[in-house]
Amino acid sequence: QVQLVESGGGSVQAGGSLTISCQLSGITWRMYSVAWFRQAPGKEREGVAGIDSYDNTIYANSVRGRFTLSAANGKTTLYLKMKNLKPENTAMYYCAADNDVLQMKAMPNDHRVFNYWGQGTQVTVPV
């Protein structure tokens, strides 16, 4: 079955950089979308960046220019390179995938359109 496993989270000082990873396995779909979401305590889960089924890359406005999403190994390995990290970026970061998410012109408002999720990796930027 489809599995996603995140890794690479940790504590980083403000202004620092960190790259987190997501490894997908069990993928048999011809076309699928992948994405990173994050959720801070007391807040809704929000989209960060994604690659849709047509391999277009999309970023949330809040991270565009600072975060870079890339994929390797036939889109089964994902990297989110985060630069100039800020305390407000502290959150649990989740990767997700779904074969029914085709084109993404923007990050979806409802994270529930993605049905396959990893367990999350914590990114902490102390004040």
> Measured between alpha carbons, how far is 43 from 100 in angstroms, rounded to an integer?
26
Supply the pLDDT for residue 33: 98
pLDDT (tens digit per residue) in 64-103: 999 999 999 999 999 999 999 999 999 999 999 999 998 9
The structure tokens listed for 43 are: 């807040």
> Measured between alpha carbons, how far is 15 from 115 in angstroms, rounded to an integer?
33
Supply the pLDDT for residue 49: 98
CB 21 within 8 Å of CB 78: yes
Supply the pLDDT for residue 21: 98
Average pLDDT over residues 12-27: 98
Average pLDDT over residues 28-43: 97
Q: Per residue, what are the HEC states of 2-38?
A: CEEEEECCEECCCCCCEEEEEEEECCCCCCCEEEEEE
Q: Tell me whether residue 119 is exposed, middle or buried, using C-beta atoms within 10 angstroms of its C-beta: 0 to 12, 13 to 18, 19 or more.
A: exposed
Supply the pLDDT for residue 54: 97
pLDDT, the chain, mean? 97
Share of the chain above pLDDT 70, in %: 100
Supply the pLDDT for residue 50: 98
